[in-house]
Structure 1
């Protein structure tokens, strides 16, 4: 009965209820976002245990800060921003990676094809179902420099819009567009030759951006 009542409530109503003392509603509030938060954390931590810790900490922090949520953005956007901040903080504490300057340009020694990848999601679904292809894409995304991976994941994986992505990362809209463009170009350069090899007889089908 309680689950039915919770499912009938809007997100805003659940938040109001939690703040009014119905804390049991919190799990229903975050349930639709658990996988997204975990995957975002995993993309940073590269370790399932650490990613789970980051996700759990993000949910705890979100609960503690729930009264500060002003609904100026989607709850999912706000939640992901908390998870990203927690992941960054943990990485800094662990000194696992060196944080790149937000203004640092791409390595000038790296040659990137000027051709635009219209949409990486144009890769056919049957191709994405192949473990080999999934691993290629996952590895390529993981190896993007941090400042480009952030934007790519939020825009092309989580499908946040430009304004939401800019707000989460505290960037200007032009910077988001530039970084997404560079991320897609880097992925194209990395993935195009490998996807050709997976199906050399179907070049057009596998590389729709050519």
Structure 2
């Protein structure tokens, strides 16, 4: 007979935390740490600000855990908090640093290799190249916010249509339309550049060759 402690469901862990077992919170959020950070980084553009946003999102989720309703996934609720925190921080920064709006965005070269992994136009080996990853990162950053949000949730975090709609408080039809437009924008931006990168150099025909 197995005497090990039964594995608790996510709902049971949440109930235990609300009841006072706060030490379980890290166990609850551990599976979502990467997703929260990626979403924060996609908005903040640099690692330090993304880490601050992620940390604040986890803190706010903990403080408001008793208000979480089980009719949505905890991960969906957590991502919603992260997006709101990122948007609020960007608004605060824009007020404080209006004079910096014309400066080029900080490009630290960090991007998830998983971006666009379902696109047939981009071979998987190409995505591993730093030059290609940088192009993808910049292209995603240029998407209007409403399209970037849907693209990241659906194609990067792999939330389903219903979860994405819940996270962004929009209709399912809006999710589908925005995702289609985001993909079209990225294709238009990236395909010509990727073709240029992957085009073999012209051979110089020398008289003695």
Q: Give TM-score scaled by structure 1 length.
A: 0.78
Which residue does 1:196 correspond to in 2?
195
Deviations 1:22-69 (A, max 9, x none): 111100110110111011011111121111111001000100111111
Distance 1:27 1:18 in 2: 10
Q: Match of 1:180?
A: 179
Unaligned runs of 5+ in 1: 99-116, 202-210
- Could you say which residue in structure 2 is the equivalent of 1:33? 32
CA contact (8 A) 1:137 1:191 kept: yes
Q: 1:192 and 1:122 mapped to 2: Cα distance?
A: 8
Structure 2 equivalent of residue 110 of structure 1:
none
CA contact (8 A) 1:120 1:184 kept: no
Looking at structure 1, the residues matched to 35 and 69 of structure 2 have their Cα atoms a distance apart, in angstroms, of: 21
- 8 Å contact from structure 2 (residues 121, 191) kept in 1: no
C-alpha separation between the residues in 2 aligned to 1:76 and 1:122?
31
Aligned partners of 2:53 and 2:182: how far apart in 1?
Answer: 24
Distance in 2 (CA, whole Å) between partners of 1:89 and 1:197 is 38
**Cα shift at 1:86:** 0.7
Deviation at 1:95, TM superposition (A): 1.7
The separation in 1 between residues aligned to 2:172 and 2:151, in whole angstroms, is 14
Query: Aligned residue for 1:57?
Result: 56
Shift, 1:5, TM fit: 5.3
Q: Does the 8 Å contact 2:139/2:189 carry over to 1? A: yes
Change (3 A) 1:121 1:17: farther
Task: Give deviations 1:102-146, integer Å, cap 9, x for gaps.
Answer: xxxxxxxxxxxxxxx9x4376332222211111111111011111
Q: Is 1:128 equivalent to 2:132 in the alignment?
A: no
Conservation of the 8 A alpha-carbon contact between 2:40 and 2:83: yes
Q: Is the 8 A contact 2:139 2:190 kept in 1?
A: yes
CA distance in 2, matches of 1:13, 1:126: 42
Unmatched segments (≥5 aa) in structure 2: 99-115, 201-209
Residues 182/134 of structure 1: CA separation in 2 closer, same or farther (3 Å cut): same
Shift, 1:9, TM fit: 2.3
CA RMSD of the aligned region, Å?
2.2
**Corresponding residue for residue 144 of structure 1:** 143
For residues 5 and 143 of structure 1, the distance between their equivalents in structure 2, rounded to whole angstroms, comes to 49
The structure whose Rg is larger is 2
CA–CA separation in structure 1 for the residues paired with 2:15 and 2:93:
37
Instruction: Give the 5 Å matches for 1:53-132.
Output: 53-95=52-94, 119-120=118-119, 123-132=122-131
Range moving further from structure 2, 9-18 or 33-42: 9-18
